[in-house]
Protein backbone atom coordinates (compact mmCIF):
# COMPACT_ATOMS: atom_id res chain seq x y z
CA UNK A 1 0.00 0.00 0.00
CA UNK A 2 1.43 3.40 -0.92
CA UNK A 3 1.69 6.36 1.45
CA UNK A 4 -0.81 8.19 -0.75
CA UNK A 5 -3.40 5.43 -0.30
CA UNK A 6 -2.89 5.35 3.45
CA UNK A 7 -3.39 9.11 3.82
CA UNK A 8 -6.65 8.91 1.82
CA UNK A 9 -7.98 6.26 4.19
CA UNK A 10 -7.22 8.32 7.30
CA UNK A 11 -8.70 11.58 6.05
CA UNK A 12 -12.00 12.46 7.62
CA UNK A 13 -15.01 13.64 5.70
CA UNK A 14 -17.00 16.01 7.93
CA UNK A 15 -20.21 15.67 5.89
CA UNK A 16 -20.12 11.87 5.94
CA UNK A 17 -19.18 11.93 9.63
CA UNK A 18 -22.20 14.16 10.37
CA UNK A 19 -24.51 11.85 8.40
CA UNK A 20 -23.21 8.76 10.21
CA UNK A 21 -23.54 10.52 13.57
CA UNK A 22 -27.13 11.60 12.81
CA UNK A 23 -28.09 8.07 11.74
CA UNK A 24 -26.53 6.64 14.89
CA UNK A 25 -28.20 9.14 17.23
CA UNK A 26 -31.78 8.75 16.02
CA UNK A 27 -33.91 5.61 16.03
CA UNK A 28 -35.82 6.96 13.01
CA UNK A 29 -34.32 9.50 10.63
CA UNK A 30 -35.55 10.64 7.24
CA UNK A 31 -33.24 12.28 4.72
CA UNK A 32 -35.56 14.21 2.44
CA UNK A 33 -35.95 17.14 0.08
CA UNK A 34 -37.36 19.96 2.18
CA UNK A 35 -38.93 19.48 5.59
CA UNK A 36 -41.90 17.47 6.81
CA UNK A 37 -43.86 20.74 6.98
CA UNK A 38 -42.68 21.93 3.55
CA UNK A 39 -41.52 18.96 1.47
CA UNK A 40 -39.52 19.74 -1.65
CA UNK A 41 -40.98 16.90 -3.74
CA UNK A 42 -43.91 14.51 -3.77
CA UNK A 43 -41.75 11.52 -2.86
CA UNK A 44 -40.48 13.23 0.28
CA UNK A 45 -44.03 14.38 1.10
CA UNK A 46 -45.40 10.82 0.89
CA UNK A 47 -42.60 9.34 2.98
CA UNK A 48 -42.94 11.99 5.70
CA UNK A 49 -46.74 11.55 5.58
CA UNK A 50 -46.39 7.83 6.32
CA UNK A 51 -44.34 8.57 9.43
CA UNK A 52 -46.64 11.39 10.48
CA UNK A 53 -49.74 9.23 10.02
CA UNK A 54 -48.29 6.73 12.48
CA UNK A 55 -47.44 9.43 15.02
CA UNK A 56 -43.93 8.05 15.15
CA UNK A 57 -41.29 10.52 16.33
CA UNK A 58 -38.59 11.00 13.73
CA UNK A 59 -35.73 13.30 12.86
CA UNK A 60 -35.54 14.80 9.39
CA UNK A 61 -32.62 16.19 7.42
CA UNK A 62 -33.16 18.46 4.44
CA UNK A 63 -30.63 17.46 1.76
CA UNK A 64 -31.31 20.48 -0.46
CA UNK A 65 -29.16 23.18 1.21
CA UNK A 66 -25.87 21.37 0.54
CA UNK A 67 -25.39 19.00 -2.43
CA UNK A 68 -22.62 17.22 -0.50
CA UNK A 69 -25.24 15.80 1.88
CA UNK A 70 -27.04 13.99 -0.92
CA UNK A 71 -23.78 12.88 -2.54
CA UNK A 72 -22.30 11.48 0.68
CA UNK A 73 -25.59 9.93 1.80
CA UNK A 74 -25.99 8.09 -1.51
CA UNK A 75 -22.38 6.88 -1.36
CA UNK A 76 -22.82 5.72 2.24
CA UNK A 77 -26.15 3.95 1.72
CA UNK A 78 -25.52 2.77 -1.85
CA UNK A 79 -29.03 4.08 -2.61
CA UNK A 80 -29.22 6.73 -5.35
CA UNK A 81 -32.52 8.45 -4.63
CA UNK A 82 -34.01 10.71 -1.98
CA UNK A 83 -35.85 10.31 0.37
CA UNK A 84 -34.06 7.70 2.45
CA UNK A 85 -35.49 6.36 5.71
CA UNK A 86 -33.22 4.79 8.33
CA UNK A 87 -34.51 2.86 11.35
CA UNK A 88 -32.09 1.71 14.04
CA UNK A 89 -29.16 2.63 11.80
CA UNK A 90 -30.37 0.53 8.86
CA UNK A 91 -31.64 1.83 5.54
CA UNK A 92 -35.29 0.90 5.11
CA UNK A 93 -35.63 2.44 1.65
CA UNK A 94 -37.18 5.26 -0.28
CA UNK A 95 -40.70 6.43 -0.99
CA UNK A 96 -42.02 3.36 -2.81
CA UNK A 97 -40.74 0.91 -0.21
CA UNK A 98 -41.87 3.01 2.77
CA UNK A 99 -45.32 3.57 1.23
CA UNK A 100 -45.73 -0.14 0.54
CA UNK A 101 -44.59 -0.98 4.06
CA UNK A 102 -47.10 1.52 5.46
CA UNK A 103 -49.94 0.04 3.43
CA UNK A 104 -49.14 -3.55 4.49
CA UNK A 105 -48.49 -2.73 8.16
CA UNK A 106 -44.78 -3.60 7.95
CA UNK A 107 -43.72 -0.01 8.68
CA UNK A 108 -45.66 0.02 11.94
CA UNK A 109 -43.88 -3.18 13.00
CA UNK A 110 -40.47 -1.83 11.98
CA UNK A 111 -41.06 1.33 14.02
CA UNK A 112 -42.61 -0.51 16.94
CA UNK A 113 -45.79 1.59 16.90
CA UNK A 114 -49.46 0.73 16.98
CA UNK A 115 -51.24 1.48 13.72
CA UNK A 116 -53.75 4.33 13.91
CA UNK A 117 -57.45 3.45 13.78
CA UNK A 118 -58.47 2.45 10.30
CA UNK A 119 -54.96 1.74 9.07
CA UNK A 120 -53.13 0.45 7.25
CA UNK A 121 -54.42 2.49 4.40
CA UNK A 122 -53.22 4.51 1.51
CA UNK A 123 -51.56 7.88 1.65
CA UNK A 124 -52.51 10.79 -0.51
CA UNK A 125 -49.84 12.53 -2.57
CA UNK A 126 -50.19 15.80 -0.68
CA UNK A 127 -48.57 14.50 2.48
CA UNK A 128 -51.58 15.54 4.55
CA UNK A 129 -51.89 12.29 6.48
CA UNK A 130 -51.40 13.66 9.98
CA UNK A 131 -49.56 15.97 12.31
CA UNK A 132 -45.80 16.36 12.17
CA UNK A 133 -43.65 13.86 14.01
CA UNK A 134 -42.34 15.21 17.28
CA UNK A 135 -38.72 14.44 16.47
CA UNK A 136 -36.31 17.33 16.00
CA UNK A 137 -35.80 18.78 12.55
CA UNK A 138 -32.06 18.59 11.98
CA UNK A 139 -29.71 20.54 9.84
CA UNK A 140 -26.78 18.30 9.11
CA UNK A 141 -24.52 20.70 11.03
CA UNK A 142 -26.78 20.61 14.10
CA UNK A 143 -25.29 19.83 17.45
CA UNK A 144 -26.18 16.25 18.35
CA UNK A 145 -28.71 15.84 21.17
In three-state form (DSSP H/G/I as H, E/B as E, the rest C), the secondary structure along 65-119 is CCHHHHHHHHHHHCCCCCCEEEECCEEEECHHHHHHHHHHCHHHHHHCCCCCCCC
CATH fold of 14-113 reads Glutaredoxin (3.40.30)
Q: What is the pLDDT along the chain (145 residues), one digit of tens a residue?
A: 555 554 455 678 999 999 999 999 999 999 999 999 999 999 999 999 999 999 989 999 999 999 999 999 999 999 999 999 999 999 999 999 999 999 999 999 999 988 666 655 555 544 433 333 333 334 443 322 2
Domain boundaries, the chain: 14-113
pTM above 0.85, yes or no: no
Amino acid sequence: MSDETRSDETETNPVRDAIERAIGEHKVILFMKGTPEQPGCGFSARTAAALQALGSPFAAVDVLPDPRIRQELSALSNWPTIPQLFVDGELIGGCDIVTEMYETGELQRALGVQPPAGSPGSLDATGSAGVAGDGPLLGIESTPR
